[in-house]
Amino acid sequence: MRKTNLCSEEKNALFLIAPSVILIMLVILIPVVYTFYCSFSNKMLVFHINQFIGFDNYKFLLQDDRFWHSFYNNIYFSSIAVIIELFLGLGIALLLNLKFRARTLVRAAILVPWIMPTVIVAKFWGIVYTFLFSYINTLLLDLNIVNINLNWREIPFLAMSFAILVDVWKYTPFMVLILLTGLQVIPEEQYQAALVDGANKFQRFINVTIPFILPNITVALLLRTIDSFSSFSIIYVLINGGPANSNEIMPIYLFKMLFQNLQFGYGSAIAVILFICILIISSVYFIFLNHRSKGENR
Amino acid sequence: MNSKNKKLNSIYLFFIILLIIFCVGPLIFLTCLSIYSGDSILNFLQNYTHIIENKSFIRIFCNSLIIAIASTIITLNLSIMASYALTRRQVRFRKSFLLLFLSISTFPSVTILSALYMLFRALNLRDNILILIIIYTVFSLPFAIWTLAGYFKRIPVELEESAKLDGCTDFSTFKNILLPLISSGIAFSTILIFIYCWNEFIFAVTFTTTDLSRTLPVDISLFPPSSGYRMGELCAESLISSIPLIIIILFCQKKILSGLTSGSVKE
């Protein structure tokens, strides 16, 4: 009697879960498998070309300079951006953890960059970018250092740095919020105990604060690395991978391959590589988190 | 001690003010640019009237609103159902289910762009807001389920059992006891799902081609690059499309902060 009851209860429960699981299967998991499948074929939608070519896409990928350049750019973009965000975020989180009046107001202000649509952020900083360099140009002309208008937009390094800066502006608040949640649960006694032991400010920070918020740092790093590694909007809207494709990152290259060159097969191969990269990144973090939580249980 | 505190405060105050300027300054600058129209200070609303007179803008704004609201409502219903079943009912593999949802919630959307494009092309859905509603729903589901499951877990089982002893059915227990208890979780996920749907760009730019389904971020991205031509209108439109978000910050910031603090983002 009881067993049948449990069964019907489980059936009901599965009935409640089913819609979500089916939707996720249809829209996320099956497309992933299909993308893998497509990466082994030469597929061009409009021309109705669809033939199986095995590993040819991947062989081509290995020799494709433009791909490797985008790969390198991806690593450069996300590592620099995430590192800056981490240190800046840690500093701001420590600052906001202090007790002062109007603390909630400042925290609300912090939310602004994070909540603003990425497109608007990129467009806005694009305007600032243009203003800034036209101002520098007029300044240089007035000082007679140069006698022509320099085209700053054509310098890849500057464009990339600016994109990183925009990313930092937009996502540091996210870092701050996650680190702040960790800082708030550190018990005051820990600091007092360290104070009694004669630890100075820096030692207290290294030995009390950092170990306590290490899980938060890991989670924040995980989310931000994945997000920035597959980030698209900022670079697409701000510089569109330019000047002259020099600042393409993988998502942008992928997007152009799909909707400008209509190479769905090759595009899928890039998508697979990007997917594998993100899988590796997240598994590294997951292993780290798992390891830590096991160590705590012991 | 007190004087030392005060000294520190002045340095900290400087940094805090700097921080506020950095965060909110761009929004104020954006407002100034949107008011400035070149010829006269008096008709400072010129850019706004230009945009609102444009029929396609109203259409696009409505598209964004419909898509965001529809996907938020669908996601909420589905995720409340699923997270309830996963936490309050005996289900085999519930841990694996939850882990699946957690790992998918960080899924990089760019990677399945090609497959989804072909899928919707095969379904003959083109330039339809339905596509975006489906995609946004599915992509916010894992996050919503994971978050709400965290809130459900915190409710003691005894509460449910005593309600059952008092003669409540499963559904009335759920409606009258569990649902009010997770209301802050529902509010938090509603806000985050809405923000996601309102801001999303990459799917929107892939699946919309005309005003029939275009959303605000795509429309803004289509403005000419760099400053000068139509810059005031760009700023005005950006500001109008930030209004729902500014409202969220003003009225719901406590919900967001407490939601983040209560450990939904943490493991």
For B159-212, the pLDDT digits (tens) are 888 888 888 888 888 888 888 888 888 999 999 999 999 999 999 999 988 888
Mean pLDDT for all residues in chain A:
85
Q: A13 to chain B: nearest residue by CA?
A: B85
Indicate whether B47 pLDDT > 70. yes
* Contacts of A28-31 spanning 24+ positions with Cβ under 8 A: A28/B104, A28/B107, A28/B112, A28/B138, A28/B139, A30/B115, A31/B112, A31/B115, A31/B116, A31/B119
Interface residue B23 vs chain A (CB under 8 A): yes
**Which residues of chain A neighbour B145 with C-beta distances below 8 Å?**
20
Which residues of B fall within a CB distance of 8 Å from A30?
Answer: 115
Asked which of A142-151, B91-100, B180-189 is least confident by mean pLDDT, the reply is: A142-151
H/E run at residue B40: none
ipTM at complex level:
0.87
Structure tokens at A76: 């450069």
User: Chain A partners of B202 at a C-beta cutoff of 8 Å?
Assistant: 232-233, 251, 255
Q: What is the mean pLDDT of residues A244-272?
A: 89
Which residues from A are below 8 Å from B149, CB to CB? none
- Full DSSP string of B156-187: -HHHHHHHHHTT--HHHHIIIIIHHHTHHHHH
CA–CA dist A186, A179 (Å, integer): 11
| Whether B97 contacts chain A with CB within 8 A | yes
Q: Tokens 């690395």 — which residue?
A: A225
Which residues in chain B have their CB less than 8 angstroms from residue A6's CB?
Answer: 90
Rounded to whole angstroms, how far apart are CA atoms A211 and A223? 19
**Site from A15, A17, A256 to mutate, B interface, most B CB atoms within 10 angstroms:** A17
| C-beta separation of A249 from A269 below 8 A | no
Residue B2 pLDDT? 47
Q: Where are the alpha helices (DSSP H) in chain B?
A: 2-35, 46-53, 55-88, 94-104, 113-122, 129-153, 157-165, 170-173, 179-181, 183-199, 202-207, 216-221, 231-259
Q: Tally C-beta pairs within 8 A across A and B.
A: 253
Q: Tell me if A13 and B89 make a contact (CB, 8 A cut-off).
A: yes
Q: Is the pLDDT of residue A215 over 80?
A: yes
Other CB atoms within 10 Å distance of the CB of residue A269: 29
The rounded distance, in Å, linking the Cα atoms of A20 and B142 is: 9
In this predicted structure, the answer to whether residue B265 has a pLDDT above a threshold of 70 is: no
For residue A44, the chain B residues in CB contact (below 8 A) are: none
Closest-approach residue (CA) in chain A for B88: A13
Picking from B23, B114, B265, the nearest residue to A113 by CB comes out as B23
Query: Which one has a higher pLDDT value, A255 or B13?
Result: A255
The pair of three-digit structure tokens given for residue B265, joined into one six-digit string: 């983002």
Question: In angstroms, rounded to a whole number, what is the distance separating the alpha carbons of residues B172 and B166?
Answer: 11
- Min Cα distance A108 → chain B (Å) is 6
